[in-house]
Structures are given as structure tokens and as C-alpha cells.
Amino acid sequence: MDLCTIKGTKILSKYKLKPSVSVMIELPEAVAFSKQINETLVGKKIRHALKGQNPHKFAFPEKGTKQLGAEYSDEDFARILTGKSITKSWSSGNVILVEMDTDYLLSLGCGGEKIVYHETERTIPKKHQLLLTFEDDTFLSVTISGWGEVRLLKTEDLERHPHIGYDKIDPLSAEFTFEAFERLIEEIGENRKRNAKRFFISEPGFRGIGNGVIQDIFFLARIHPRREMRSLSKEERRLLYETTRIELQKMVDLGGRDSEKDLFDTWGGYKRRLHGKVVDEPCPVCETPIVKEQFGGGSIYFCPSCQKVE
Ligand SMILES: [Zn+2]
């Protein structure tokens, strides 16, 4: 799992709670949010920042800890952000970064979060974890479901951000070549087990990849989520690599998956093939009913005929 999912899951089990989130912001949605923030919010000046209107247990950083940004109280948030303008946004994995006057960053995403731009106060949700009011009487609200980031940090501290996953490859970067992919498979070691799901989301894992986007990637590459990575033939490795690149790029180009809403509260344009609503429905390729199982901390969906375990 990505870093904030690992932390989120730990907190939920500490409080003996079941995750209420079925969908999460992953790489494609983070890219889409940053693009929309650049197009819509850059240049807007913050008149007022309200954090903690509805305190959320699973907002990162956790209060009272030594985590980066935990030193800022709700009052600090208001004081630091007031008068600042949004200068740019970018994403890294599933973390959305919003730069304020170049010296501070607001870190969002990294979980289940609604980040919505409002042209009028009528659409602002009753409960939220952050509300920015801009000088032109428009707004940005952030509401966490499950867990997510509402973190303030100094731009110079970005390399200390705990949830970006600097040690993981960004699967859409030039660095992620087929050779790099094969090297990661070889690094698993002769006698070690490493199924496809675990390989993609945690060991080694790819930046911003979680249990959501892998479902369609594995389906299209005809790889079962439980499949041992080392057992993949050269052709299977090639197909899985290319499918990963192509489908992730499609998800980005279409503004995220249709399970997630964007900055304008609109569903993403990428139509998922495998998800909760197609369980027991015929596979679009071979008509075998689609199966759902719990595996590796979350649901997996697959076609038992197209995606063989061995
Ligand atoms: Zn099938």
C-alpha cells in the first residue's frame, strides 16, 4: 500500500474502525486535480482560511505528533494562509501540492478526499476540514472521508514529506522503462514470493498506485492479482508494463476514474471495467462471471478465465 494508506489502515485498526472509503485519490486523480487547480485557482488571493470546523481523526498530519506540519494549529493555518495567493500546483504520486506565494505548500489528497471549487457559497458542504475563501468570493472546500492530507509545510521542507514515496518510481515518468520494470522483478530474489498486487502497490510499489487503478491494468494485461511476479514470461512482463503506461495515461487524460469526483464535483471520465457493480456480470472478453475476493488488504476483481493465477 502507499504510505498514507498504510498509516490510515493502522489508525483505523487502532480505533477498531472499518474503512468507510471504497474509493481513493490515486495518481490519475492527483494529476487531474493539479491541472484544474492551475487552470482555476492560480492567482486567487486567500481572504480567509478555516481549518478544524469539523475536526477529523484521520487527517494528516496527526495532531500532537512530530509529523511534518503538525506544529501548525488551526489558528496558524488561518494566520499563515490569509493574504497569500495560489501560485501553482503539481502532484507527486497521490499527493496534491498547492503552492502559496512560493514559501508555503498546502498538501492535499493521499486518501479519500473531496476537494471542490465553489463559485458560490451555496454549494459549500456543511462539514468540511478546510475552507478557503478567496477575495473574489469563490471558495475551495476539502472534506475527508476515510483519511487524507490537509497539511501545511514550508516549500523548503518538501523533501521531508512523509507520504510522497520518494523511494518509489513514478510509473508515468521517463525513468520507468521496461528495463527498469524488469530490474524490479529481478530484485525480488530467487526464493521470495511477491504477488502482482503487492508488487504494484507496496513492494516495491509505484508512486501513487493503489488498489484502485490496478484492477483494470491487471485485467487488460491478463494478470491475476495473486500471480507471482517472477513467474511472468517475457511477453507477459512486456504486456503488463505497456498496459500500465497506457492505461494510467488514459486515466490521466480523461481526468481520473469514474469513481472519483474532480475539482468541479464532476465524475472522472475514465470508465472502469472491473469494480463492485460488475461482480457476477459476464467478462467483456470471454463472458465468464467477474469475481470479487478480499486479498492483500482490500477487494480484488478479476475474470477467473482471462486472468490465471499460474
Ligand atoms: Zn474473461
- Compute the distance between CA of residue 162 and CA of residue 287 in angstroms, rounded to an integer: 44
Average pLDDT over all residues of the chain: 93
Query: What pLDDT is attached to residue 280?
Result: 98
Confidence of residue 66 (pLDDT cuts 50, 70, 90): very high
Domain 178-302, second-level architecture: Orthogonal Bundle (1.10)
Above 70 in pLDDT, residue 160?
A: yes
Residue 299 CA to ligand 1 centre (angstroms): 18
Q: Tell me what the mean pLDDT of segment 38-52 comes to.
A: 97
Cβ contacts of 162-165, under 8 Å, gap ≥ 24: 162/3, 162/67, 162/68, 163/2, 163/3, 163/4, 163/7, 163/60, 163/93, 163/95, 163/107, 163/110, 164/3, 164/92, 164/93, 164/95, 164/207, 165/2, 165/3, 165/92, 165/93, 165/205, 165/207, 165/208
Same fold, 3-160 and 178-302: no
Query: What pLDDT is attached to residue 14?
Result: 66
Domain parsing of the chain, residue ranges: 3-160, 178-302
Residue 255 CA to ligand 1 centre (angstroms): 27
Residue 288 CA to ligand 1 centre (angstroms): 5
Query: What pLDDT is attached to residue 11?
Result: 64
Sorted by sequence, the CB contacts under 8 Å of residue 116 that are 6+ apart come out as 123, 125, 140, 141, 142, 143, 261, 263, 264, 265
- Compute the distance between CA of residue 210 and CA of residue 229 in angstroms, rounded to an integer: 17
Residue 200 CA to ligand 1 centre (angstroms): 22
Query: Residue 191 burial by CB count (10 A; 0-12/13-18/19+): exposed, middle or buried?
Result: exposed
Distance of CA 44 to CAs 81, 83, 229, Å?
Answer: 12, 10, 47
Question: What fold, for 3-160?
Answer: N-terminal domain of MutM-like DNA repair proteins (3.20.190)
Residue 25 CA to ligand 1 centre (angstroms): 27
- Compute the distance between CA of residue 271 and CA of residue 93 in angstroms, rounded to an integer: 21
Its pTM stands at 0.93
Q: Tell me what the mean pLDDT of segment 52-79 comes to.
A: 90
Above 60 in pLDDT, residue 223?
A: yes
CB 71 within 8 Å of CB 148: no
Residue 271 CA to ligand 1 centre (angstroms): 18
C-alpha cell read off for 274? 472491473
CA atoms in the 13 A half-sphere facing the CB of 191: 0
Pairing mode of beta strands 104-109, 95-100: antiparallel
Residue 308 CA to ligand 1 centre (angstroms): 10
Query: What pLDDT is attached to residue 55?
Result: 82
Please give the residue that has the higher pLDDT: either 14 or 281.
Answer: 281
Beta-carbon neighbour count of residue 57 at 10 Å? 12
- Compute the distance between CA of residue 159 and CA of residue 221 in angstroms, rounded to an integer: 34
CB 238 within 8 Å of CB 162: no
Confidence of residue 16 (pLDDT cuts 50, 70, 90): low
Query: What pLDDT is attached to residue 196?
Result: 98
Confidence of residue 23 (pLDDT cuts 50, 70, 90): low
Please give the residue that has the higher pLDDT: either 62 or 234.
Answer: 234
Residue 275 CA to ligand 1 centre (angstroms): 14
Residue 220 CA to ligand 1 centre (angstroms): 10
